[in-house]
Structure 1
Amino acid sequence: MMKALYYILPLAAMSIVSCQEEKGDLQKLQDERDSLSTLTNTIQQRILELDGEIAELDSTIKFTTVTLYQVEAQPFAHYFQVYGSVEADRNVTLFAETQGMIEEIHVREGQTVKEGQRLISIDDEVIRRNIEEAQTSLELADTLYQKQSKLWAQGIGSQVQYLEAKNRFESLQSRLNVLNAQLRMANLTAPFSGVVDEIFPKGGEYTGPGQPLIRLVNMNSVYVTADVPEDYINRVATGSEATMYFRSINDTVEAKVIQVGQYINPDNRTFKIKVGINDANGTYKPNMMASVQLKDYSTETAMVLPNHIIQQDPEGRSYVYSFENHEGTDEIGTVVKHYLELGHSYNGITEILSGLTGTERIIDRGARSVQADEHVRMIK
């Protein structure tokens, strides 16, 4: 047994030494590779520098010429556009509530009227006669009712006679109330102050219940209503900034959203908004069309680039090229490729979320004719 151990122990020691030697050789190989890699990078960098110096001195070498765009942080906002039309809460058509001949029209189209002012009178002679007749009958019915009440209180007469007198009195009273209401209807008055926009009948014509008489508009409080796609439901709120353009009068108005609808129309997947307008001069008319730009995103500082500078590779990744000039010269430089993460895009400008530090000089003209690590000449 001792002899077996004598032979086993040296073999184990030799195995440990062999493993240590192998690890040492591996580390040496790795260190040598790293050293060569560093040396290669240094050589490649020096070659680039030499190429630039040679290019500057050798007039026979042709370079792609490029122009540069300096990246800067600046405010950025994103808008989307919808279309709407002008509406007014007080834009109503007044209808006839009784029948008769148009006796007199007291206003003209375009005239400003006050609340309660008489607009149209309908012939009410028949109604007045009926009122006179009803009043006479009511007086008699009232007298009979009072007498019958006293008799009934004394136990004289029948209950039927008392109830008949009471019923006739109350019926005539109701009829008189109806006739007085009809008399009031025969005189059309303004329910609010505004402008007479249109008069439908002419004097002497016959009218009846439900026929339009006058359109009355108050334009001191108007707004634009628009349908907004459902996708923007969390981007628009009361107070959101809006810019409206009225093409028909070539007018632009800065405004704010005054109301956001809470209902999604299932037919077109939109919700309604109202944008307020200050229209003291009556410039904006009902149903006038407007394009509405709504701000749904903004930031005070953002790196942005013109859209035409940003390119895409076959995998759909966005990138730009920057210019890094060689030491000792401002004109000759190397092209560097930067992959980008993009944010919002609006009006030809795109927000850059990552991929740039903000100090780069981005290649503008000539960007689609160069490649990474290529030497190019910068022109102003």
Structure 2
Amino acid sequence: MRMKSQYVFVIAMIAVVALYFIVRSIFGGDEAGTAEAKATAPAGPPSVQVRTAAETIRPVEVAMRGRTEAARAVIVRSETAGVVAATPAAEGSFVRRGQVLCRLAVDARQASLDQARANLRSRQLQRQAAAQLAQKGYRSETQVLETQAQLDAAHAQVRAAEIALAQVNITAPFAGVFDRREAEVGTYLAPGQACGTMIELNPLVVFGDVPETEAARLQVGAPATARLLSGEMLNGRVRYVAHDADPQTRTYRVEIAVANPSLKVRSGLSAEVRVNVGQGPAHLVPLASLVLDSAGRQGVRHVLADQRVAFTPVTVQEETPQGVWVSGLSGPVRVITVGQSYVAEGQKVRVAAAR
């Protein structure tokens, strides 16, 4: 009797399983077929979001990193030998042209000048006497010329003594800042040794380096601006564009002269330099819309009138909080702002306005 109940249970389980597969085959077959059909059905074109960028005429600028420097920097040296007796100019102060920076001891220079002047007076008297005697016939023309030559030599000796005395004053060659003093009171200076360094800060020079692709666009006299790290703006004009590239960086030096009447802008400050090279068309596009093509060129993908994707290389002119100004596009352009990384050139897309 126990064996019979077990058989009944097994037969019931087999019947339930068989019924399950029969029902599934009847009601689930169409759904499987529909899913398979959906899987094999061709997908529609991908959807992208675009934003129309209008063409705008704006100044075209060449940007570079730069640094301020003095227009002139000269090491002022002694022209004669002597011991430094005074240093009237304070280190770091503004001095005018001709102002004394270092003064050497006079020593015997004043005595040499006095002697030369006394000799000059003697030669003048001799010349006058020779001329009077020549008029009376007591001196020949040759003797008169000889006394004149002696007088000229005396004049030269006085001039040489005056120059030697003046050379004890080492003066500023131009108006500027006495930036660094090299000699103190008591220092012995030989001819050619330094008293100190003078720098000219007005006008101030801002220099930068541009690649060879940009150097030809720059012209002397072009307006330029320099923004310091402090945010201060300096306005000036290009005064020099190198014609020989740096052998290591292959870049060209550019110098911009800017006014600095108060001398508050120092030499050696970092600056962001922009030189105006004219005007041209530009488009404002989102920074995220910039992509690289298969050749590594930077550009934007946009949608043409036939709803196909195109790629155009661009050059970044300026980054702003509103987006990036680029050149290289023409006319109004529907720039892809969402989905630009998942579509290819020539692919047809569905367009939706950017949110």
Whether the TM-score (by the shorter chain) exceeds 0.5 is yes
Write the distance in 2 (CA, Å) between the matches of 1:273 and 1:207. Answer: 38
Write the distance in 2 (CA, Å) between the matches of 1:73 and 1:367. Answer: 19
Describe the SS at the equivalent of 1:182.
Answer: helix
Write the distance in 2 (CA, Å) between the matches of 1:302 and 1:214. Answer: 53
Deviation for aligned residue 1:109: 0.8
Q: TM-score, normalised to structure 1's length?
A: 0.64
Write the distance in 2 (CA, Å) between the matches of 1:304 and 1:282. Answer: 40
Alignment of structure 1 residues 91-130 onto 2, 5 Å: 91-130=73-112
1:200-229 Cα distance to aligned partner (Å, 9 max, x none)? 111112113221113233423212133444
Matched, 1:152 2:125: no
Structure 1: gaps spanning 5 or more residues: 1-57, 325-334
Describe the SS at the equivalent of 1:97.
Answer: coil
Alignment of structure 1 residues 245-324 onto 2, 5 Å: 245-246=227-228, 250-251=230-231, 253-261=233-241, 264-265=243-244, 268=247, 272-296=253-277, 298-299=279-280, 302=283, 308=289, 312=293, 320=301, 322=303
Deviation for aligned residue 1:352: 5.2
Q: TM-score, normalised to structure 2's length?
A: 0.68
Describe the SS at the equivalent of 2:338.
Answer: coil
Inter-CA distance 85–379: structure 2 relative to 1 (3 Å threshold): closer
Between the two proteins, the alignment pairs up a number of residues equal to 305
Aligned to 2:185: 203
1:66-119 Cα distance to aligned partner (Å, 9 max, x none)? 551311215356544444443334543322122211111112212333344333
Alignment of structure 1 residues 2-13 onto 2, 5 Å: none
Write the distance in 2 (CA, Å) between the matches of 1:363 and 1:182. Answer: 79
- Give, as a single letter, the amino acid of the residue that structure 2 aligns with 1:264: H
Inter-CA distance 138–370: structure 2 relative to 1 (3 Å threshold): closer
Aligned to 1:190: 172
Write the distance in 1 (CA, Å) between the matches of 2:71 and 2:292. Answer: 50
Aligned to 1:24: none
Describe the SS at the equivalent of 2:103.
Answer: strand
Deviation for aligned residue 1:283: 3.8
1:255-278 Cα distance to aligned partner (Å, 9 max, x none)? 3433244x6226657655332334
Matched, 1:70 2:51: yes
Write the distance in 2 (CA, Å) between the matches of 1:313 and 1:155. Answer: 107
Inter-CA distance 109–162: structure 2 relative to 1 (3 Å threshold): same
Describe the SS at the equivalent of 2:243.
Answer: coil
Deviation for aligned residue 1:251: 4.2
Write the distance in 1 (CA, Å) between the matches of 2:307 and 2:271. Answer: 46
Matched, 1:336 2:277: no
Alignment of structure 1 residues 368-379 onto 2, 5 Å: 368-370=341-343, 372-373=347-348
Inter-CA distance 214–370: structure 2 relative to 1 (3 Å threshold): closer
Contact 1:118 1:187 in 2 (8 A): yes
Write the distance in 2 (CA, Å) between the matches of 1:98 and 1:110. Answer: 25
1:235-271 Cα distance to aligned partner (Å, 9 max, x none)? 2234545343545xx545353433244x622665765
Aligned to 2:329: 353
Inter-CA distance 305–128: structure 2 relative to 1 (3 Å threshold): same
Aligned to 2:20: none
1:20-68 Cα distance to aligned partner (Å, 9 max, x none)? xxxxxxxxxxxxxxxxxxxxxxxxxxxxxxxxxxxxxx9xx99887551
Write the distance in 1 (CA, Å) between the matches of 2:146 and 2:104. Answer: 36
Aligned to 2:151: 169
Structure 2: gaps spanning 5 or more residues: 1-37
Matched, 1:366 2:339: yes
Greater CA deviation, 63-72 or 146-155?
63-72
Matched, 1:217 2:199: yes
Inter-CA distance 235–256: structure 2 relative to 1 (3 Å threshold): farther
Contact 1:74 1:304 in 2 (8 A): no
Greater CA deviation, 143-152 or 63-72?
63-72
